Copies of this chain bind each other. A is one copy, B any other.
């Protein structure tokens, strides 16, 4: 991988952490919209489990502004993300956070963007087929979050996570290769479906959410809904039958039992099940202690191939939109 970019990412994170250290941070708000919000779910899971005192909250950007959380203030770290850096609600959220005295740290692919300008600290991440996984959004966010846990509370996992992320690109490539045929099969088999549900829990729920709202609803105009695997048995499971497709994710975190239970039930009453089990991934180079946290990143990466194959089989490119960026909203 390009050493320069890796060093650059590490330096950017160190700069952000230096700003965090100047403050007395007691809580973290994850604020973004859609797919950029979805990448933050695993980070909330991390803080929920790992932090001794830090509290974590996650809101869609406009909800964050209007909800006006009373614990947002000068002891808050607000982490924002927008790929283009132009998402109006997220830009406004950064301004709102700073108006409350909070430290606003933003991830974006565009360094000179409005979001970058509205934030205290900017972390530029790489993107696209050429980008090494270490320098992409999920990885940069984890480096920041575990770094914050380290500088604020002496959490020891930051180094393990950094080392694991340095091996993420290889993990991605092996997983993509292993699941390639299944991705092709998914596209062929499900190209005519009008609705496809996704399901997961814990650190993986955001991946299910992202696939449902960004890939299926937004990019394919296929009806969808990310079902929480624990909630499944309290309503949603009544919908499953032999005709209804479910993408079921199994991660490696502490909530895996919920996903396994949901899968077991679905296998009894459903027929159209697409199962992605992180146990099948070759996670060489990822530290045992953080595999549960890394699994959603790999699931998300593999699912992108599924999206590509579905788009191709449906002859509906992932870039097709009817409203987004085209009409007023």
- Give the B-binding residues of A (Cβ under 8 A): 27, 33-37, 45, 48-53, 55, 57, 60-63, 66-71, 87, 89, 194-195, 201-202, 212-214, 217-219, 221, 223-225, 228, 230-231, 233-239, 244, 254-255, 257-258, 261, 265, 268-269, 321-324, 327, 329
Report A74 CB to chain B, min CB distance, Å. Answer: 14
- The answer to whether B195 touches A213 (Cβ under 8 A) is no
- The answer to whether A230 touches B61 (Cβ under 8 A) is yes
- The answer to whether A224 touches B221 (Cβ under 8 A) is no
Q: Select one of B70, B194, B230 contacting A60, CB under 8 A.
A: B230
* Docked pose: A213 CA to B62 CA in angstroms: 24
Given A219-B238, A329-B233, A329-B265 in contact, is the A68-B213 Cβ separation under 8 Å?
A: no
Given A66-B254, A68-B254 in contact, is the A225-B228 Cβ separation under 8 Å?
A: no
Report A291 CB to chain B, min CB distance, Å. Answer: 16
**Which residues of B have CB within 8 Å of A322?**
238
**Which residues of B have CB within 8 Å of A55?**
27, 55, 71
- The answer to whether A238 touches B258 (Cβ under 8 A) is no
Question: What are 21 A-B residue pairs whose CB atoms fall within 8 Å in the complex?
Answer: A34-B235, A37-B234, A48-B71, A49-B69, A51-B70, A60-B228, A60-B231, A60-B234, A63-B258, A66-B255, A67-B202, A68-B254, A194-B194, A213-B231, A213-B235, A214-B235, A217-B238, A218-B234, A219-B238, A225-B225, A233-B324
Report the nearest B residue to A27, measured CB to CB: B55
* Docked pose: A225 CA to B49 CA in angstroms: 28
Q: With A63-B202, A63-B258 given, name 10 new contacts (CB 8 A).
A: A37-B231, A51-B71, A63-B230, A195-B195, A213-B236, A214-B235, A221-B239, A233-B324, A233-B329, A237-B329
Report A158 CB to chain B, min CB distance, Å. Answer: 16
**Which residues of B have CB within 8 Å of A69?**
48-49
* Docked pose: A214 CA to B257 CA in angstroms: 23
* Docked pose: A144 CA to B324 CA in angstroms: 43
**Which residues of B have CB within 8 Å of A89?**
230
Report A153 CB to chain B, min CB distance, Å. Answer: 10
Q: Select one of B63, B202, B237 contacting A255, CB under 8 A.
A: B63
Q: Select one of B45, B236, B244 contacting A67, CB under 8 A.
A: B45
* Docked pose: A51 CA to B57 CA in angstroms: 15
- The answer to whether A49 touches B37 (Cβ under 8 A) is no
- The answer to whether B236 touches A223 (Cβ under 8 A) is no
Report A93 CB to chain B, min CB distance, Å. Answer: 10
- The answer to whether B68 touches A49 (Cβ under 8 A) is yes
Report A321 CB to chain B, min CB distance, Å. Answer: 6
**Which residues of B have CB within 8 Å of A195?**
195, 223
